[in-house]
């Protein structure tokens, strides 16, 4: 009767003050049966990595609209590793120029989603990533 649920931390690093997109994806993933921990605006990489540790999440989803992704994302990944969270998969969503995507993937991001991404697609990707049959 082991009842394993995928746990996802949705975080907004950096200074931009819009969390509509973050909330939309949070709700969509909840509706896909996941447990979403939402931490609110203006999270530092330290705060995100600490919350990810305490909540023992499988996925960290970062929503970034400020354009600071090239600095913020590697900083979060670095802090996650520092906390021993080597298995956590990092998804990034927001306004990310096409040209920056390979660099982010190279830094260890699992997937990047642009504006207008179908939320169902994100949910499916996460399910795929954790489906034991595929892992």
Partner 1 sequence: MPISPQAIRKGDRLSLAKALTAVENGNPESRSILAALFPFTGNAHLVGVTGAPGTGKSTLVNQLAKTFRQASETPPKIAIIAVDPTSPFTGGALLGDRIRMGDLAGDKGIFIRSMASRGALGGLAHATASFATVLDGAGFDLIFIETVGAGQAEVKIAGLAHTVIVVEAPGLGDEIQAIKAGILEIADILVVNKADRPGAENTARALKAMLEMSLVKNGNIPTAGKHLRLSSSEGAVSEQASHQNWETPVQMVTASEGSGVDAVVNQITSHRDFLKQSGGWQEKENHRLQADLKALIQDLLLHRWEQQIGNGPFTEALEKVINRELTPLDAAESLTNL
How many C-beta atoms surround the C-beta of residue 30 within 10 A? 15
Q: Based on the shown chain and the rule CB under 8 A, indicate whether residue 38 belongs to the binding site for partner 1.
A: yes
Tell me how far apart the alpha carbons of residues 31 and 28 are, in angstroms, rounded to a whole number: 5
Q: Based on the shown chain and the rule CB under 8 A, indicate whether residue 111 belongs to the binding site for partner 1.
A: no
Footprint on residues 53-82 left by partner 1 (CB under 8 A):
53-56
Cβ distance to partner 1 smaller for residue 26 or 62: 26
Cβ distance to partner 1 smaller for residue 109 or 123: 123
Radius of gyration of the chain (CA): 14
Cβ distance to partner 1 smaller for residue 112 or 119: 119
- Nearest distance in Å: CB 60, partner 1: 14
- Nearest distance in Å: CB 16, partner 1: 16
CA distances from 121 to 38, 72, 93, 99, 110 (A): 20, 24, 12, 22, 14
Angle at which helices 45-55 and 69-82 cross, to 10°: 40
- Nearest distance in Å: CB 85, partner 1: 8
**Cβ(24)–Cβ(12) under 8 Å?**
no
Q: Which listed residue (46, 82, 121, 124) binds partner 1 by CB under 8 A?
A: 46
Chain-centroid distance of CA 102 in Å reads 17
- Which residues contact partner 1 by CB under 8 A? 1-5, 26-27, 29-40, 44, 46-47, 50-51, 53-56, 83-85
């Amino acid at each position: 009767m082991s009842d394993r649920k995928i746990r996802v931390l949705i975080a907004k690093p950096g200074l931009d003050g819009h969390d509509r997109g973050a909330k939309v994806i949070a709700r969509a993933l909840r509706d896909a049966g996941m447990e979403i921990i939402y931490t609110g605006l203006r999270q530092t990489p330290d705060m995100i990595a600490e919350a990810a540790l305490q909540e023992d999440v499988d996925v960290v989803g970062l929503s970034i609209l400020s354009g600071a992704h090239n600095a913020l994302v590697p900083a979060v990944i670095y802090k996650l590793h520092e906390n021993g969270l080597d298995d956590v998969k990092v998804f990034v969503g927001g306004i990310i120029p096409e040209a920056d995507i390979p660099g982010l993937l190279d830094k260890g991001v699992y997937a990047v989603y642009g504006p207008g991404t179908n939320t169902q697609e994100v949910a499916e990707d996460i399910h795929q990533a954790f489906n034991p049959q595929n892992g």
